[in-house]
């Protein structure tokens, strides 16, 4: 077995089930890893506050990677250990484009979430994350600010179309990714889960080869590739699973299956990447 000393685990559709709860087997496996001295950290596209709620329930005592890697912050610290924001001019340029095209989006600034209107997309975001967006009207009034990220809301078809559009238009000026079929995220290029994992591993004195990362979506690809052991859930798309070192068979308790096999030594690693 690899000597895993740091585990970074995604929340939605990875650690959490379809009801946004942590299956008991997943909780128990992570708790057993922590008892062995392994640092277990959440790595999610959610806000710090949303992620921290799960970390507290799990009894985790590690910095939380939130906003898709843009922030690393200890649970109760008022200030982050690392925070990468979108440059003000670039953010204003993107917001102008979104407002012009009447795109629904969430603007994340200084721990608050802002939307232009409280429609079904905003209600859906609240229901999924527990974070209440504030209605700001015209988001262009924040020109000059440096938001943590922008989250574009739409159908899966719109999400893919926007991903291609923004990737082509802004290139290396932004980091664009998809966290859920309806969510496309725009961040600074240095704000990825992979860069956050490398930073946190260095801060903790853990070699990157002694890390494990688990995810299910495109926004997890970089961290899965960066970690010493990368795990994609069986529900991930085939091209993502092909990049993993290990793919669990259980879609509900895949986190536990991976941790049991590769960290705790309970059974053999039965399925690997390269499908």
Count the neighbouring beta carbons within 10 Å of the beta carbon of residue 111.
Answer: 10
Residue 271 has pLDDT above 90, yes or no: no
In sequence order, what are the residues at sequence separation of 6 or more whose Cβ sits closer than 8 angstroms to the Cβ of residue 86? Answer: 94, 146, 147, 148, 149, 150, 174, 186, 187, 188
Which residues make beta-bridge pairs with 82?
Answer: 72
DSSP tag of 14: I
Mean pLDDT calculated for residue range 55-77: 94
* Locus of tokens 């980091």: 175
Residue 246 has pLDDT above 90, yes or no: yes
pLDDT at site 159: 97
Each residue's pLDDT tens digit, 69-98: 999 999 989 999 999 999 999 999 999 999
Residue 273 has pLDDT above 50, yes or no: no
pLDDT at site 2: 85
Residue 268's pLDDT band (boundaries 50, 70, 90)?
A: very low
Each residue's pLDDT tens digit, 93-119: 999 999 999 999 999 999 999 999 999
| CB distance 153 to 183 below 8 Å | yes
**In order of start, what are the domains of the chain with their CATH numbers?**
6-82+191-264 (3.40.50.1000), 88-187 (3.30.1240.10)
Return the higher-pLDDT residue of 8 and 267: 8
If you write DSSP's letter for every residue of 162-200 in order, what string do you get? Answer: HHHHHHHHHGGGSEEEEEETTEEEEE-TT-SHHHHHHHH
- Mark out the alpha helices in 103-262 (DSSP H runs): 120-129, 156-170, 193-204, 221-226, 238-241, 254-259
Percent of all residues in the chain with a pLDDT value above 70, rounded to a whole number: 97
Each residue's pLDDT tens digit, 3-33: 999 999 999 999 999 999 999 999 999 999 9
At 214 the three-state DSSP class reads strand
Q: What's the chain's average pLDDT?
A: 94
Can you give the pTM of this predicted structure? 0.91
- Map 65-95 to HEC letters: EEHHHCEEECCCCCCCCEECCCCHHHHHHHH
């Amino acid at each position: 077995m690899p000597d895993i000393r740091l585990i970074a685990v995604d929340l939605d559709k990875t650690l959490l089930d379809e009801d946004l709860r942590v299956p008991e087997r997943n909780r128990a496996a992570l708790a057993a890893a922590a008892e062995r001295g392994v640092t277990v950290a959440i790595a999610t596209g959610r806000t710090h506050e949303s992620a921290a709620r799960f970390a507290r329930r799990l009894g985790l005592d590690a910095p939380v990677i939130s906003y898709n890697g843009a922030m690393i912050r200890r649970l109760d610290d008022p200030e982050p250990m690392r925070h990468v924001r979108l440059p003000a001019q670039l953010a204003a340029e993107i917001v102008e484009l979104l407002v012009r095209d009447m795109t629904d989006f969430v603007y994340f600034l200084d721990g608050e979430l802002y939307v232009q209107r409280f429609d079904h997309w905003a209600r859906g975001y609240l229901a999924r994350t527990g974070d209440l967006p504030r209605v700001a009207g015209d988001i262009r009034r924040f020109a000059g600010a440096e938001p943590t990220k922008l989250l574009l809301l739409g159908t899966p078809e719109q999400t893919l179309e926007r991903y291609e559009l923004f990737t082509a238009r802004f290139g290396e000026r932004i980091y664009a990714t998809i966290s859920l079929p309806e969510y496309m995220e725009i961040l600074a290029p240095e704000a990825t889960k992979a860069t956050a994992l490398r930073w946190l591993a260095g801060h903790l004195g853990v070699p990157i080869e002694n890390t494990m990362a688990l995810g299910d979506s495109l926004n997890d690809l970089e961290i899965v590739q960066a970690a010493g052991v990368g795990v994609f859930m069986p529900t991930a798309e085939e091209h993502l699973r092909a990049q993993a070192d290990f793919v669990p068979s259980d879609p509900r308790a895949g986190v536990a299956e991976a941790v049991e096999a590769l960290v705790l030594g309970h059974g053999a690693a039965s399925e690997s990447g390269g499908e």
